[in-house]
Amino acid sequence: MAILMKLVRNAATTFDSERKEHRRNRGRTHFYQVEGNAEHESEQLALVDAVLFSIQTISDEAQSWHERACLCADYSEGYACNYAVELDEVEDFKGLWKLVKAQVTEYAKTFGSIPTNDNYALNILGYAIAGKIVRNSNGKYELHDRVYKLAVKWKAESEERQKARAEKAAAPVEVETPAAEQTAPVQKTEGGKKIHITPETKADEIKSFRLVSPCKECPYRSDLPSYLKGWLGRERATEIARNVFDLGQSFPCHKTTEHDDRKLDQGYTYKGCESQCAGASIMQIKLGKTSAYMQVAERLGWTKEIEAMQQLDLDSPVFETVADFIEFHSR
């Protein structure tokens, strides 16, 4: 079957905002996306992104194309990430796309299968193909190892956690302490009612608020670069807003989770490595809609959680209303 992947230029969004950074970007940035046959080329589309993520832009700031990507790809629907390309980079990006397409096509024909079910393997493969392109470019392109290093770090940390869990499972079972020697539960009073805080409850007092302020790419930031407008899409942004602000659900920072964003809403099980998203938590506090987890921590006096929440930088630039959040992320 013929390869149908093609580079498509998307119309730039017209910004209603009066922010200076938005006005400065008008007419200075083009948006390109790779599209293909959803049924036969979804794996190639994923590999195209993995390769681009490991190649550096030609702008003055040393960035990978991963940092210029709107991470809203849906390979099963036939489209990859959307890239913000400055006007003086357009021709360079088009030339790079041709090289990436050729290498991905060659790999797919030679090996047939692309490891899209393993993010680590996919990123490592993308880095390897990117290295081949860079070596053959006579200095025109440069390799960027940010995503590669993250992949290696996440793999090592995952293996360490698996090893620790295996060692814990293999450890001998401790003999249960006789009832007479057990520590009596601590009693706290709230609203005239006594609340029993057992030793087991205190053991669950994990400091999950490890972030003080939103990360650079936090979707709740009100000062995100203009090329990220429409990042989540209206449907996804509305769904997140309902869960976080109406239903009081917690929102883990995506950079601290163990797997990709698409699985976060499919029964995600916390593994202890996560941090609550600072941007979401700050918005919840400012809007008076704190999460159920935050309310429970306060009612039960979980000191570590309370202290961590008090450290949140409430002056961080987050959206002032839920409507602003949804509007920014709408296409």
Q: For the purposes of burial, counting CB atoms within 10 Å of the CB of 182, is it exposed (0-12), middle (13-18) or buried (19 or more)?
A: exposed
Q: Residue 253: CA atoms inside 13 Å, Cβ hemisphere, count?
A: 24
**Residue 149 DSSP SS3:** helix
Q: What angle do CA 115, 121, 125 make, to 5 degrees?
A: 90
Give every CB contact of residue 80 below 8 A, 6+ residues apart in sequence.
33, 34, 35, 36, 45, 46, 48, 49, 73
Give every CB contact of residue 295 below 8 A, 6+ residues apart in sequence.
248
pLDDT at 25: 52
> For the stretch 101-133, what's the b/e string if a residue is b when 16 or more beta carbons lie within 10 angstroms of its beta carbon?
bebbbebbeeeeebbbeebeebbbbbbebbbeb
pLDDT at 270: 56
| Distance separating alpha carbons of residues 276 and 270, to the nearest angstrom | 11
Give every CB contact of residue 158 below 8 A, 6+ residues apart in sequence.
258
**Residue 116 DSSP SS3:** coil
pLDDT at 261: 47
| Distance separating alpha carbons of residues 227 and 82, to the nearest angstrom | 9
| Distance separating alpha carbons of residues 202 and 185, to the nearest angstrom | 10
Contact 85, 93 (CB under 8 A): yes
Q: Which of these, 288, 278, 291, lies nearest to 318 by C-alpha position?
A: 278
pLDDT at 69: 86
pLDDT at 180: 45
Contact 99, 133 (CB under 8 A): yes
Low-confidence ranges of the chain (pLDDT < 70): 1-3, 11-27, 173-207, 258-273, 331
pLDDT at 194: 42
Contact 68, 227 (CB under 8 A): yes
pLDDT at 199: 37
The answer, as to whether pTM is greater than 0.85, is no
pLDDT at 110: 87
| Distance separating alpha carbons of residues 42 and 75, to the nearest angstrom | 5
| Distance separating alpha carbons of residues 25 and 111, to the nearest angstrom | 42
